[in-house]
């Protein structure tokens, strides 16, 4: 059965499901008519470059063509089959050679346009590679669907940050990354674009020694609705994961963060924790965070979760005021600090500087 | 630099409460230019409230009285405006701000209080380096987050580092000596002296102990009990109080002893 047929025969997702509780499929579907698979999808411009414009080092390439869909969550047939159906010719594979090393972070720049646009990006990262990667999505399309799949090699150290800078419209992002033996993977999400976002992000540690840090710096304003679902699978012994997700919500926006931590039987020595924090910047802003655990193994180091929401701290505001910062300066400084505490963990100094400069103008607006 | 004879700080008949509970019950205080004054008092006597009210903390209600900095009324100024006019508060418990790097914070603060030029270029870097050396603060400090995971001593040194960079007209130091060892008190006192002594700036030191006062040698010491300044005198008053205690001092005040 091809992807279109699979999509049309799939059951409509149940709103009681953790993933679909806040943003139902109908809301994120390109036309709202869930029986429709629009045919007029355009292919975005996709390029690979270094963060400072220098020549790409040898051992890394981005090729258009087939992309491996292996590892996609079977349980979410709707998004998987829909995105597979609409990314037909829009498939790209990033190949990183074993033992690749780059001092400079690498960027995959995706520039969207038109009404509907989609891309499937597959990561094929070699054994023992060391890489800092930013995938930035920009442009003006009304609906963008992005599928990201792939795996890192054994012993690889990867920082993989996705930045949403779409000017408006809707973003559907589905991601599935496999993390093998002794591989360290940092998965960052920076979101300050698109009006509606639905993201389903899945990370699976399937061999011993996998180490995962999932970090979010989410900035929502005006009437944005940003919904991120993160699922972390500990499917092997001695695996480690941390999830730190910070959302700053202004205007009448809404952010949703749902986490699902699954520790399967036999994953002894698993060490996992997730924390969602929300900074509410206006009376009408709304933030919902629901971390959930499903632990089937008794012999774990720890599995914890937490969530905290609140307005800007008045004592911190007074402290900054006592150092000469006006109320607007203090507020934007505190918002930036809040987001920076996760942003600064996503990569090294260069990547951090680049990410801060990307967010700067949005932060100033939000502080006003 | 201001050269008229107006005091740095003048507080007249200040009555302050919080949520209807009176805390300060009529404070009069005058700090002339170039002087360091100290306030001592039991816990709950109103010392920290005095410091916060001078800085303009919004939680306190001023029921009566006035405050002047260099003859200018502070009453209608917001805390950030007071800071830009030259008021500095070293907090007893400084706030931690995860995500805000010390280096960025110092630049922002110096830029706000002393102007953008003061926070730029080699002059700023030289001042920063020299102040950090004087306070025994390592360079790596600049990339840490503001007060996040700092020890008690590091927090207090960081407050004094800010004091040295901002060079305020009036420094209010709320229990800056608490949490510091003897070397720390000596180092911090040196920082305070460098900002006030030989200048027309002033300082108000709030403390429980005479130890820090041995290093900064205040011009006047005031004793606060129950929201009022009940006694004022020279530096020896701090030692008298430490030797004899507050009950003794209250008895002396009741007897009408003048400590001037």
Q: Residues near B115 by Cβ (< 8 Å), separated by ≥ 6?
A: none
Q: What is the pLDDT of residue A69?
A: 63
Smallest Cβ–Cβ distance between A322 and the set B89, B105, B145 belongs to: B89
Residue among A337, A275, A278, A343 nearest A134 (CA): A343
Q: What's the mean pLDDT in A230-244?
A: 97
Is the model's pLDDT at B82 over the cut of 90?
Answer: yes
Contact B113 A315 (CB under 8 A): no
Report the pLDDT value the prediction gives residue A66, as an integer from 0 to 100: 73
The pLDDT value recorded for residue A19 is 85
CA dihedral in degrees (B120, B204, B79, A328; nearest 10)? 30
The predicted structure's pLDDT at residue A364: 62
Q: What is the CATH number of domain B9-33+56-233?
A: 3.40.50.300
pLDDT digits (tens, 9 = 90+) for B160-187: 999 999 999 999 999 999 888 888 899 8
Q: List, for residues A28-52, the tens digit of each pLDDT value.
A: 999 999 999 998 899 999 999 999 9
Give the global pTM: 0.91
Q: Is A325 at the interface with chain B, CB within 8 A?
A: yes
- Contact between chains at A341 and B162 (C-beta distance less than 8 A): no
State the residue for tokens 């010719």.
A89
Average pLDDT over residues A300-312: 94
Q: Which pLDDT score, from 0 to 100, does residue B123 have? A: 87
Query: Cβ contact (<8 Å) for A325 and B112?
Result: yes
Per-residue confidence (pLDDT) for residue A70, from 0 to 100: 62
**Which range has the top average pLDDT, A7-11, A62-66, A181-185, A191-195?**
A181-185
Exposed / middle / buried, residue B62 (Cβ in 10 Å: 0-12, 13-18, 19+): middle
B207 φ, ψ (degrees, to nearest 5):
-155, 160
Instruction: Identify the band that residue B253 occupies on the pLDDT scale cut at 50, 70 and 90.
Output: confident
Residue of A318, A320, A323 lying closest to B57 (CB–CB): A318
Cβ A106 vs Cβ A51: under 8 Å: yes
**Domain spans, chain B:** 9-33+56-233
Distance CA B150, CA A114 (A): 51
Q: How far apart are CA B67 and CA B221, in angstroms?
A: 19
Task: Give the tens place of pLDDT for each residue, A309-368.
Answer: 999 999 999 999 999 999 999 999 999 999 999 999 999 999 999 999 888 777 766 544
Report whether pLDDT(A136) > 60: yes
Question: Among all residues of chain A, which has the CA nearest to that of B113?
Answer: A324
Q: Give the mean pLDDT of chain B.
A: 92
* Unique residue bearing structure tokens 């079977």: A74
Tell me how far apart the alpha carbons of residues B60 and B123 are, in angstroms, rounded to a whole number. 39
CB contact under 8 A, B79 and A316: no
* pLDDT band at residue A247 using 50, 70 and 90 as cut-offs: very high
Instruction: Of A129, A116, A124, give the one whose Cα is nearest residue A38.
Output: A116
Is B55 an interface residue toward A (CB < 8 Å)? Answer: yes
Rounded-to-integer distance, Cα B85 and Cα A210, Å: 55
Average pLDDT, chain A: 92
B85: which chain A residues are within 8 Å (Cβ-Cβ)?
none
The side-by-side arrangement of strands in the sheet containing B220-225 is B87-90, B170-174, B202-207, B36-41, B220-225, B228-233
- Report, as an integer, the average pLDDT of A213-234: 96
The pLDDT tens digits for A46-92 are 999 999 999 999 999 999 987 666 655 566 688 888 998 998 889 99
Residues of B in contact with A314 (CB under 8 A): 58
What is the per-residue pLDDT for B1?
46
Confidence check: pLDDT of B238 > 60: yes
CB environment A272-286: b (16+ within 10 A), e (fewer): bbbbbbbbbbeeebb
**Complete DSSP assignment for A311-363:** E--HHHHHHHHTTT--HHHHHHHHHHHHHHHHHTTSS-HHHHHHHHHHHHHHH
Under a CB-based contact definition with an 8 Å cutoff, are residues A76 and A174 in contact? Answer: yes
Q: How many CB atoms lie within 10 A of CB B115?
A: 11
Q: How much of chain B exceeds pLDDT 70, in percent?
A: 98
Chain B contacts in chain A segment 330-359 (CB below 8 A): 330, 333-334, 336-341, 344
Supply the pLDDT for residue A368: 46
Rounded average pLDDT over A183-190: 97
Distance CA A240, CA A43 (A): 37
Cα separation, B38 vs B220, whole angstroms: 6
Which residues in chain B have Cβ-Cβ distances shorter than 8 Å to A315?
Answer: 95
The share of chain B scoring above pLDDT 90, in percent, equals 75
Determine the 3-state secondary structure of A366 from DSSP.
helix
- Which ipTM score applies to this complex? 0.95
Q: Would you call B95 and A313 a contact, using CB atoms and an 8 Å cutoff?
A: yes
Distance CA B108, CA B121 (A): 14
Residue window 296-315, chain A: list those with CB within 8 Å of chain B.
Answer: 313-315
Mean pLDDT calculated for residue range A192-201: 94
Nearest chain A CA: its distance from B94 CA (Å): 8
Report pLDDT for A74. 62
CA atoms within 13 A on the CB side of A185: 32
Chain B residue with CA closest to A342: the answer is B99
Å from B255 to nearest chain A CA?
41
Residue B46 half-sphere exposure toward CB, CA atoms < 13 A:
25
Asked whether the predicted pLDDT for residue B130 surpasses 50, the reply is: yes
Nearest-Cα distance to chain A for B115, in Å, is 10
Whether the Cβ atoms of residue A196 and residue A222 lie closer than 8 Å to each other: no
């Amino acid at each position: 059965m091809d992807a279109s047929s699979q999509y049309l025969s799939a059951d409509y997702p149940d709103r009681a499901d953790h993933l679909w509780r806040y943003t139902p499929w109908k809301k994120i579907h390109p036309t709202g008519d869930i029986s429709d698979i629009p045919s007029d999808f355009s292919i975005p411009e996709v390029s690979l470059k270094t963060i400072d414009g220098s020549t790409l080092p040898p051992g890394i390439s981005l090729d258009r063509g087939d992309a491996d869909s292996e590892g996609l969550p079977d349980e979410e047939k709707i998004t998987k089959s829909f995105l597979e159906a609409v990314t037909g010719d829009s498939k790209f594979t990033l190949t990183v050679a074993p033992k690749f090393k780059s001092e400079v972070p690498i960027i995959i720049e995706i520039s969207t346009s038109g009404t509907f646009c989609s891309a499937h990006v597959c990561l094929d990262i070699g054994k023992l590679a060391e890489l800092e990667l930013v995938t930035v999505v920009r442009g003006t399309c009304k609906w963008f669907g992005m599928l990201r799949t792939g795996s890192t090699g054994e012993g690889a150290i990867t920082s993989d940050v996705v930045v949403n800078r779409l000017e408006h419209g809707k973003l559907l992002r589905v991601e599935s990354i496999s993390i093998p033996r002794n591989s360290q993977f940092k998965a960052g999400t920076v979101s300050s674009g698109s009006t509606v976002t639905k993201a389903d992000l899945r990370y699976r540690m399937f061999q011993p020694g996998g180490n995962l840090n999932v970090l979010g710096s989410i900035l929502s304003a005006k009437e944005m609705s940003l919904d991120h679902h993160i699922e972390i699978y500990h499917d092997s012994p001695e695996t480690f994961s941390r999830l730190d997700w910070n959302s700053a919500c202004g205007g009448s926006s809404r952010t949703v963060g749902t986490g699902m931590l699954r520790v399967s039987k036999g994953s002894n020595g698993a060490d996992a924790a997730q924390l969602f924090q929300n900074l509410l910047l206006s009376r009408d802003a709304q933030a919902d965070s629901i971390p959930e655990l499903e632990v089937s193994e008794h012999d774990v180091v720890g599995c914890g979760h937490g969530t905290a929401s609140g307005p800007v701290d008045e004592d911190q505001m007074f402290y900054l005021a006592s150092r000469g910062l006006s109320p607007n300066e203090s507020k934007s400084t505190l918002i930036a600090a809040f987001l920076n505490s996760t942003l600064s963990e996503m990569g090294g100094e260069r990547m951090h500087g680049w990410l801060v400069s990307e967010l700067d103008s949005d932060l100033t607006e939000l502080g006003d | 630099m201001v050269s008229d004879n107006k005091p740095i700080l003048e507080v007249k008949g200040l009555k302050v409460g919080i949520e209807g509970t009176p805390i300060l019950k009529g404070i009069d205080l005058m700090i002339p230019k170039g002087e360091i004054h100290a306030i001592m008092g039991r816990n709950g006597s109103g010392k920290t409230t005095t410091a916060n009210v001078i800085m303009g903390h919004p939680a306190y209600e001023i029921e009566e009285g006035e405050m002047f900095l260099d003859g200018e009324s502070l009453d209608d100024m917001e805390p950030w405006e007071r800071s830009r006019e030259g008021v500095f508060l070293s907090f007893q418990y400084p706030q931690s701000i995860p995500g805000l790097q010390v280096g960025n914070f110092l630049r922002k603060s110096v830029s706000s209080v002393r102007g953008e030029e003061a926070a730029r270029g080699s002059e700023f870097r030289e001042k920063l380096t020299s102040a950090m050396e004087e306070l025994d603060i390592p360079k790596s400090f600049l990339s840490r987050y503001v007060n996040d995971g700092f020890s008690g001593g590091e927090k207090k040194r960081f407050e004094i580092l800010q004091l040295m960079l901002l060079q305020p007209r009036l420094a209010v130091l709320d229990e800056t000596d608490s949490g510091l060892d003897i070397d720390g008190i000596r180092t911090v006192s040196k920082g305070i002296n460098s900002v006030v002594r030989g200048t027309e700036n002033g300082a108000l030191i709030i403390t429980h102990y005479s130890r820090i006062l041995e290093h900064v040698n205040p011009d006047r010491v005031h004793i606060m009990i129950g929201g009022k300044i009940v006694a004022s005198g020279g530096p020896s008053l701090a030692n008298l109080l430490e030797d004899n205690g507050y009950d003794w001092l209250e008895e002396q005040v009741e007897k009408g002893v003048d400590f001037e």
